[in-house]
Amino acid sequence: MKTVIYNGKAYIHRGHFEQAILISDGLIEKVGTNEEVLAFAPEECEKIDANGKTILPGINDAHLHLGFIGEFLVLADLSNARSINEVVQCGKRFMQENPEAVKYGLHGIGWNQDYFTDEKRIINRHDLDLISTEIPIVFERVCGHIVSSNTKAIEMAGITDQTPQFDGGVFEIGEDGQPNGIFNENAVYEIIKTIPSWTAEELQQLYIRAIEYAVSVGLTSVQSNDVRDNNYKEIFALLHKLYDEGKMLLRYRHQFSFLKLENFKKFLESEFKNGKYDNKVLALGPLKLFKDGSLGARTGLMRHEYLDDPGNNGVASLSDEQMDELCGLAVENGIQVVTHVIGDAAIDQTITNYERSMKNGKNLLRHGVVHCQITDLPILERIAMLDILAMVQPIFLNYDLHVVESRVGKKLASTSYAFHTLDKLNAHVAYGTDAPVESCNPFPNIYSAVVRKDLAGFPEGGFYPEECVDVEQAIDHYTIGSAYAEFQEDVKGRIQPGYYADLIILERDIFTIPVDEIKDIKVVMTMMGGKVVYQK
Ligand SMILES: [Zn+2]
């Protein structure tokens, strides 16, 4: 079956557009003017009139969490709470409105103390006990690196003032000498466990909702971190089922995480070897490690103490030795490594770990740094020189531009989120959103890279505007750049003969509208492998 899309403005590469695309068996066969392509297309083929609209390669999000996007749609949403009292009210309301969902516990997500107008402090068990003392409550901070819980959850987790601290994570002790309900980094898993997990059927529904949302905003590929430690059998089974049932509307590449080396080893012996993958829709990807925490939670690992929290340098979730061991094992098995790094110390140390794992100083496995936020020029130069992938989320500026200077000072802030410098240094860059930390909608993300303002348009001239990139560059990082991150740049990320027919048609022309309006662009059609998977 062949399809022609004609009468469009298809982005081929910088400065080059074409009107029409011929698609055959899920691949792009020909691009050119309407006359050229229509003359070439068989009479009976399906014809789609693009009505002059702009066509882009499908967006490829280089790092997100697809399952959590689904969960976000059903957990108590705390992202609009502007005070501790509002968090409490939000929790109470959710319990009243969803009595079935909270039978065994209340799981909320999205609060951010920097947005609180009463006290800008982390919520604790005393706050959450106001919602309920009967069921466990865990409320994740927007970044997921801090979780607050009520007294019931702490009891269920069996944590007391006598419990030893966890490896790479902390539960706080309050003034009364008892755990105060605040958990960070690796300790968060211990408390989240008190809430029963989804049934396989519920989980599948969450993925379906997430996938449908993702294609509706223009994603045709995701590089997703859903495997965490020992849930790989469950996640693999689920994704294969969706695929077999034709519900995998986008291409999915795993980023798999392990907290324990033994679990990574077990995985290498089982699912990693045996999972059935055709590489076109479902693919195995890199080992995803977590080196540090988040800027918002002040757990990103810094070379200097936080200016607004003297004595605190952040948290190293993995030691240097652990990093070397994990990277070594990955490389031995030919596996790429990508690592969550926020602070300058985390980035610098991780690059050193990578460097030690490379053969002949070449980054052949395309190891990457995910987030890569707090940088100075020497770090950026090291990234470029060693050809380490920078997998960045420009949309993080929406929140971070309000706090980064107070956390690390103006000087370091001015060389952080340095998107243009990365381009000048010719680094390999891939864009993503880390959804659901931010929405997986790519247009606010492109807007952030291009104008460097928050979603309300602040600051007027942009935040360190010399680091703005242009629209073409942002789109390239989000398509061919992300494809490079998964060794797919020969088949994904361009509208070109031989490439997958993964493309989107936009309601408005991203190349000519005022840049401040890019964030509001809607998708009218999404096509994956020549099939229309979303239509407005
Ligand atoms: Zn993430």
Q: Looking at the predicted structure, is the pLDDT value of residue 29 above 90?
A: yes
Cα–ligand 1 centroid distance for 340 (angstroms): 7
Residue 481 CA to residue 2 CA, distance in Å, equals 28
What integer pLDDT is reported at residue 359 of this predicted model? 83
In terms of DSSP H, where are the helices of 104-220? 125-129, 151-156, 188-192, 200-216
Element (H, E) at 412: helix 410-414
**In degrees rounded to 5, what are phi and psi of residue 111?**
-70, 155
Cα–ligand 1 centroid distance for 113 (angstroms): 20
**Which pLDDT band holds residue 361 (cuts at 50, 70, 90)?**
confident
Q: Looking at the predicted structure, is the pLDDT value of residue 276 above 70?
A: no
Residue 256 CA to residue 285 CA, distance in Å, equals 7
Cα–ligand 1 centroid distance for 429 (angstroms): 16
Pick the range with the lowest mean pLDDT from 233-237, 298-302, 396-400.
233-237
**For the chain, what is the mean pLDDT?**
95
Cα–ligand 1 centroid distance for 19 (angstroms): 37
Cα–ligand 1 centroid distance for 186 (angstroms): 14
What integer pLDDT is reported at residue 123 of this predicted model? 97
What integer pLDDT is reported at residue 292 of this predicted model? 95
Residue 99 CA to residue 417 CA, distance in Å, equals 43
Cα–ligand 1 centroid distance for 68 (angstroms): 10
What integer pLDDT is reported at residue 101 of this predicted model? 79
**pLDDT per position as a tens digit, 138-152:** 999 988 899 999 999
Cα–ligand 1 centroid distance for 419 (angstroms): 19
What integer pLDDT is reported at residue 11 of this predicted model? 98
Residue 421 CA to residue 322 CA, distance in Å, equals 31
What integer pLDDT is reported at residue 144 of this predicted model? 86
Cα–ligand 1 centroid distance for 417 (angstroms): 16
What integer pLDDT is reported at residue 377 of this predicted model? 98
Cα–ligand 1 centroid distance for 472 (angstroms): 25
Contact present, 285 and 256 (Cβ < 8 Å): yes
Residue 490 CA to residue 498 CA, distance in Å, equals 8
Cα–ligand 1 centroid distance for 482 (angstroms): 15
**Which pLDDT band holds residue 438 (cuts at 50, 70, 90)?**
confident
Contact present, 428 and 387 (Cβ < 8 Å): yes
Cα–ligand 1 centroid distance for 201 (angstroms): 24
Cα–ligand 1 centroid distance for 365 (angstroms): 20
Nearest residue to 248 (alpha-carbon basis) of 268, 287, 278, 270: 278
Cα–ligand 1 centroid distance for 15 (angstroms): 33
**pLDDT per position as a tens digit, 41-63:** 998 999 999 999 999 999 999 99
Cα–ligand 1 centroid distance for 274 (angstroms): 26
Cα–ligand 1 centroid distance for 512 (angstroms): 32
Cα–ligand 1 centroid distance for 191 (angstroms): 19
Cα–ligand 1 centroid distance for 63 (angstroms): 6
Cα–ligand 1 centroid distance for 436 (angstroms): 8
Cα–ligand 1 centroid distance for 289 (angstroms): 10
Residue 51 CA to residue 46 CA, distance in Å, equals 15
pTM summary value: 0.89
Write out the two tokens for 43: 């009479």
In this structure, the dihedral spanned by the alpha carbons of residues 125, 131, 136 and 142, taken in order and rounded to 10 degrees, is -70
Cα–ligand 1 centroid distance for 160 (angstroms): 30
Neighbour tally for 197: CB within 10 Å: 11
Residues above pLDDT 70, as percent of the chain: 99
**pLDDT per position as a tens digit, 80-118:** 999 999 999 999 999 999 888 788 899 999 999 989 998
Nearest residue to 405 (alpha-carbon basis) of 486, 528, 256, 295: 295
Cα–ligand 1 centroid distance for 343 (angstroms): 15
Residue 533 CA to residue 536 CA, distance in Å, equals 10
Cα–ligand 1 centroid distance for 112 (angstroms): 17
Cα–ligand 1 centroid distance for 399 (angstroms): 16
380: amino acid identity, one letter: L
Cα–ligand 1 centroid distance for 161 (angstroms): 31
Cα–ligand 1 centroid distance for 259 (angstroms): 15
**Which pLDDT band holds residue 228 (cuts at 50, 70, 90)?**
confident
What integer pLDDT is reported at residue 316 of this predicted model? 94
In terms of DSSP H, where are the helices of 130-199? 151-156, 188-192
Cα–ligand 1 centroid distance for 82 (angstroms): 24
Cα–ligand 1 centroid distance for 37 (angstroms): 42
